[in-house]
Each structure stands twice: as C-alpha cells, then as structure tokens.
Amino acid sequence: MSNKPTLKDIISANHRIKPYVTRTPLHRYLSLDRILNAHIYVKHENHQRLGAFKMRGGINLVSQLNEQERVSGVVAASSGNHGQSIAYAAGIFNTEATIVVPEQANPGKVESMENLGANVIFHGKVFDESHTYAESIAMDTNRRFIHSADEPHLISGVGTTTLEIIEDLPNVEVIIVPIGGGSGACGAGIAAKSINPDIKIIGVQSEHAKAAYLSWKHNKIMESPMETIAEGLATSTGYELTKSILRDILDDFILVTDQELDQAIVLNLEKTHNLTEHAGASPLAAALKIKDQLHGKKVALIMSGGNLSIPQLKIALKQNT
Amino acid sequence: MSNKPTLKDIISANHRIKPYVTRTPLHRYLSLDRILNAHIYVKHENHQRLGAFKMRGGINLVSQLNEQERVSGVVAASSGNHGQSIAYAAGIFNTEATIVVPEQANPGKVESMENLGANVIFHGKVFDESHTYAESIAMDTNRRFIHSADEPHLISGVGTTTLEIIEDLPNVEVIIVPIGGGSGACGAGIAAKSINPDIKIIGVQSEHAKAAYLSWKHNKIMESPMETIAEGLATSTGYELTKSILRDILDDFILVTDQELDQAIVLNLEKTHNLTEHAGASPLAAALKIKDQLHGKKVALIMSGGNLSIPQLKIALKQNT
C-alpha cells in the first residue's frame, strides 16, 4: 500500500478546507508576457491568509487528527510558513501547537505564530537542526510530530492550489512551482498530471540548497549544504515520500542562484506589485532562465508566499535597482 | 430626480461585474490589532486584477454604454488606476479607450494601460490639467467622457467592495476609505449606511491635496493646491456629485501627511506583507492617527490599490527604516 495521495484525496481536501482558506486569484500579467514571450499567469498564494500556500495543508491535516492527538497537542519544525500554518489550524481545531524555529528565523513569521497562540521555541542554526529537536520533543512527550513535507495530508491540502489553477485556466500547459521539502510540488504534480498528463510540472530550488534536487536526480535521499537566503526553499536533505512522488511527476527541475531570486523579487514588485519571499519569487526566476522552452505557452507561476522581511527587501532592492 | 446611486444600484452592479472581477479577501491581521488595540481587517483591493479597486466601476460603466458611445470610443483622464480600469473594460466590451495622463504619471500604471490597448496621451503637469484636456478632446470628437468620480455607475461599481466587506464581517463597526475624487468613499458609504446606518464611514485624504475635504467641510465645491506624492488621492477640486453624497454618508474625514503615508506603506509591508500605493496605505495612516476612537472596535481598512513604483518604494523605505 502506498501512502501517496491521489486526485481523490486532493478533491476531498478541497471540500474540507474550503471554509477556512481564501480562493486565491490567478492573474494574467501582460508586462510579464512581454518579457517572457509567453502567456504568464500568477497563482497568488501570497494572497492566502497568513501570506502563504502552506495553510491549505495545515488545515487539511490538523482537521483529521484523532482525539488523542488533538488533546495532547502537536509539534512541528519550521522556517516560518509551515509553523504559521500549523499554529493557525491548531487554533481552529482546538489543539496546542509547539513550533521549533531556527534561531535566525524571519521575525515577521515568528510574530505571526506567537499571535496565533503557538508555543515558539528557538533552536538550531538551520532548519534541519530545529527539525531534529522538534522530533525529539514530540517523541519524549508522546505528541504528534507534523513533518513539513512528508505528510500525505499536507500534500493533498496544498494540491488544492493546482485544482484552482486548472479550474481558472483549463488549458494551462506549464506550472512552475517552488520546492523546499517538496510538498507543494508533489501536490501540484498529482493534481495536474491526474487531470491532464500533458501539463508540464517544473520545480525550482536554490543552487545553494539543492538536497531535494540531488535526491530527485539520483533517486535516493541525498544531503547537500544549505547556504541559501531563501528560507522557504531551505532543507539540507531530501525526504522519502516527496522524493518518490517528485520522481513520478516532475518534468524538469531548475536551480537558481540567490542573486536570481533577488532579481525576481524586484521584478515582481515592479511588474505585478506584489511582495514575494524568495520561494515565492523562484518560479519567475526559473521562467527567466528557461525562457526559450516557454515560448508561446500558457504558463502558471505559483507565487507561494509573500512573507519577506524588510531587511530582506532592502537587500534585494539594493542589488537590483 | 437625483442621480445618487442606491443600494439597489450597487447590488445590480455586483451582479453585472461578478464575471470580470476578483472576489478579494478581507484578512484579519493580529499584528495590526496589537498596534491599534482594535480588531483590524484589511479589504484587499490591491489583490484585485490590475492591483486596484477601480475596475469594479469601469466595468459597471463601460458595460452599460449605448451603441453609439461604444462605437465612438471613450475618453478619460487619470493619474493611473482609473485609466487602467477603463482600458481594461474597453477591451472586454469592445470599445476604444483614450486616456490622458499627467506627464509625470506612474510608469507602471501607464505601461499597464498601453498593454491593455489604450491610446495613452501625456498632457499636463498635474491630474487636473489632464482632466481638462481630456474633456476637450471628448467634446471635439463627440465621444463619451468618463469622469473619474462624478459618475453614478462608477460609484455603484466600486460600492460592491463594501458589500463584500459586510458579507464577510456583518458586524463591522468602522470602515476607513481613501478619498481622491470620492467615488470609492461614496460607494462604500451608500452600501454600508443602507444596510446598517450605525457603521461609521471615515474618509482619508492627504493634507497636501485637500480639495475634497474642504468641499465636504464647507458643503461647496472648493479648490486647494495639490502638492501630495499620493497620486491616487490627488485632485485640486471637489466634485459636485461626490461632494453631495459625502455630506450624507461620511462620519469623519481625516487628513494625513505624505510622511504618514510613507510610514503606513512600510508598516503594511512589515505587518501584512503587502505592497500598497499611497492611497492604499492611507486608511492605516488614518487609523494610527485616530487610534483612541477605534479602541476595541471591528475596523475594516480598504487597501484600495498596490501600484506603487520602485522609486516611490525606495523613498518610503529610506525615510522609515
């Protein structure tokens, strides 16, 4: 038996989460069309409540906890958006969330988790250290650990983003999606390929944290140094479930530099007037890199989140204007 | 007979424009709650197609042109968002739009009008000069001039924003809305007061371009120098229809400085992760100014638009970080 989610799981998730999430728009940007010589649509998950796509997964998972799990509370590790998502869902479904974040976590995301009532613990220089610590807390206290990617209910939840893309643009040809742990790309790929196997799914990751890329390419879990500024794309290891799904559904996997991510942040500000975090800007950075392949096509860029901090914004502007 | 729109006109507009506009979210921001000691909700018209609320009005009006008007084409003057709105609607309903913009118009907004197929003419140092010129072109060529504010169909169209606010938050107590020509505030006020006269409607304008404020206060059309950086709040004269409606529906009218607008732009970036143009940030600037009056209340801020240029963004950041 496989625990890989199916289209049916994504449709069930859609029904389950609908009362709690925003139906985000898919906007066409003619100014991006001109730059890319293609029909460019942006799926605005940065307009989602809490500014990121993740809560679609958090609500789908937390709403299905059993009574013992709910009463005991849940534990997660997060660079930011996963933690916000779990904290939000915990508030709705009346459980307690403990979130371990890296010491240098994005302060806006941390403030949001605290405002939502989560118990936030700072631990670890990088996400993977927070992850290990969170797992040990969950184990010691017999609470449910919610992995940031290898969770079928998270994947089904975030797959609803792509159901909405296809609802709005049935003849979409290419979907470009950011990859950190890979749950977003897995959800997008399962939804898209189940409906129309001809839709191309292209993943993006930072060159400076390419564990998921290497794991996908070599079809085994690999580690790689994590030196990117893009917290939402930052893991130093691939994960088993997402790796095996990505092998099935990804048509291509593009690596971009942090500098290219900063350029894309500024281009998004200028042409779409949206603030994007590095992960959220990565599909545009990838599109610029593979412009020739996209020529004349209908392309959806998943703008996964907008939670950039002011210091991050100033760096991007300084280097690109 | 009055040409003031009614709730029925706004409900009809809602039905008419629904296929063409985005149902924008009303998001709660706990981090703003803490700053303002109130329940703060943001109506995200910056998430609207083209990044501003105006197209709700443009579509409502252009869809109702008679055949002669449609065939001849329409003329408008705009600092940006009104022009984008008319250009967009003209494309949908198969008419031709000529838009006169000030010589120093926001280049992103101008590019958008051109991408949408409008004929853009640069004329005048400030909006009011563009306005006079556009009126003369329309007169000379026997085309329909679409005023940026004194148009019942624009007011009904943009009033749908407030229908949506009340649908999402029926017990809203205060709505703060930017005022340039005043169509947005008129629409908000008619919708809100018709449904619940207890909802307070508070308008905001720049201290450096307060013609609408003075016209409202003294109940006659008044002029005032226009020296604001906030193009969306910029007129140097009040208008007859909007002035007479504002007298009926406004509970208060707050003036803010350009510096306070820049502060609010940065606070929106930091706490909501949204890029706002000056007009779009003005409700937050006003809320900060009248914080004591809002204590404990359910407040909706209409974030009317997000079309800030990169140079404008850099100025705001430079002065506030």
Q: If you search the block for the tokens 């196997």, which residue do you land on?
A: A197
Query: Which of B266, B273, B307 best probes binding to A when mutated, by most A CB atoms within 10 angstroms?
Result: B273
Mean pLDDT of chain B: 95
Q: Which among A85, A63, A67, A66 is positioned nearest to A76, based on CA atoms?
A: A85
Residue A79: what pLDDT? 84
Q: What is the 3-class SS of chain B, one letter each residue?
A: CCCCCCHHHHHHHHHHHHHHCCCCCEEECHHHHHHHCCEEEEEEHHHCHHHECCHHHHHHHHCCCCHHHHHHCEEEECCCHHHHHHHHHHHHCCCCEEEEECCCCCHHHHHHHHHCCCEEEECCCCHHHHHHHHHHHHHHHCCEEECCCCCHHHHHHHHHHHHHHHHHCCCCCEEEEECCCCHHHHHHHHHHHHHCCCCEEEEEEECCCCHHHHHHHHCCCCECCCCCCCHHHCCCECCHHHHHHHHHHCCEEEEECHHHHHHHHHHHHHHHCCCCCHHHHHHHHHHHHCHHHHCCCEEEEEECECCCCHHHHHHHHHHHC
pLDDT tens, A242-288?
999 999 999 999 999 999 999 999 999 999 999 999 999 999 999 99
Put simply, the answer to whether A275 touches B274 (Cβ < 8 Å) is yes
Amino acid at residue number A129: E
Residue B37: what pLDDT? 98
pLDDT tens, A205-253?
999 988 889 999 999 998 888 888 887 777 788 889 999 999 999 999 9
CA separation for the pair A123, A308 (Å, rounded): 21
Chain Cα centroid distance, residue B189: 13
Mean predicted confidence (pLDDT) in A50-62: 96
Tokens read off for A161:
């983003």
Looking at the complex, does the CB of residue B319 fall below 8 Å from at least one CB of chain A?
Answer: no
Confidence of residue A1 (pLDDT cuts 50, 70, 90): very low
With 0-12 CB in 10 A as exposed, 13-18 as middle and 19+ as buried, what is A23? Answer: middle
Dihedral sign from CA coordinates of A128, A134, A137, A142: negative
Quote the percentage of chain A above a pLDDT of 90: 86
Residue B238: what pLDDT? 84
Tokens read off for A298:
């209908």
Residue A314: what pLDDT? 97
Question: Residue B67: how many CB atoms within 10 A of its CB?
Answer: 7
Tokens read off for B144:
């329909």
Dihedral sign from CA coordinates of A192, A194, A198, A202: positive
Put simply, the answer to whether A274 touches B306 (Cβ < 8 Å) is yes
Question: Which 110-129 residues of chain B touch chain A by CB within 8 A?
Answer: 111-112, 115-116
With 0-12 CB in 10 A as exposed, 13-18 as middle and 19+ as buried, what is A213? Answer: buried
Say if CB B241 and CB B152 are below 8 A apart.
yes
Residue B58: what pLDDT? 97
With 0-12 CB in 10 A as exposed, 13-18 as middle and 19+ as buried, what is A275? Answer: buried
CA distances from B9 to A82, B5, B99, B194, B242 (A): 44, 6, 26, 12, 16
With 0-12 CB in 10 A as exposed, 13-18 as middle and 19+ as buried, what is B33? Answer: middle
Looking at the complex, does the CB of residue A109 fall below 8 Å from at least one CB of chain B?
Answer: no
Residues of A84-111 as b/e, b for ≥16 C-beta within 10 angstroms? bbbbbbbbebebbbbbbbbeebbebbbb
pLDDT tens, A301-318?
999 999 999 999 999 999
Mean pLDDT of chain A: 95
CA separation for the pair A136, A72 (Å, rounded): 15
CA distances from B132 to B102, B126, B127, B150, B239 (A): 11, 11, 9, 14, 14
Put simply, the answer to whether A273 touches B271 (Cβ < 8 Å) is no
Question: Residue B128: how many CB atoms within 10 A of its CB?
Answer: 18
With 0-12 CB in 10 A as exposed, 13-18 as middle and 19+ as buried, what is A271? Answer: buried
What's the gap in Å between the CA of B188 and the closest CA on chain A? 23
For B230, phi and psi rounded to 5 degrees?
Answer: -90, 90
Closest partner residue to A317 (CB to CB) among B266, B306, B314 is: B314
Dihedral sign from CA coordinates of B145, B147, B150, B153: positive
Q: If you search the block for the tokens 């009005």, which residue do you land on?
A: B57
CA separation for the pair A126, A226 (Å, rounded): 8
Residue A227: what pLDDT? 82
Put simply, the answer to whether A30 touches B116 (Cβ < 8 Å) is yes
Put simply, the answer to whether B321 touches A307 (Cβ < 8 Å) is no
Say if CB B235 and CB B126 are below 8 A apart.
no
Residue A232: what pLDDT? 75
Closest partner residue to B25 (CB to CB) among A47, A108, A321 is: A47
Res A134 pLDDT > 70: yes
Looking at the complex, does the CB of residue B280 fall below 8 Å from at least one CB of chain A?
Answer: no
Pairing of strands B26-28, B39-44: antiparallel
What's the gap in Å between the CA of A201 and the closest CA on chain B? 25
pTM of the predicted structure, to 2 decimals: 0.95
For B298, phi and psi rounded to 5 degrees?
Answer: -90, 110
pLDDT tens, A63-97?
999 999 999 999 999 988 899 999 999 999 999 99
pLDDT tens, A144-155?
999 998 999 999
CA separation for the pair B106, A63 (Å, rounded): 46
Interface ipTM: 0.94
Put simply, the answer to whether A274 touches B270 (Cβ < 8 Å) is no
Amino acid at residue number A90: A
Residue B1: what pLDDT? 44
Low-confidence ranges of chain B (pLDDT < 70): 1-2
Looking at the complex, does the CB of residue B270 fall below 8 Å from at least one CB of chain A?
Answer: yes
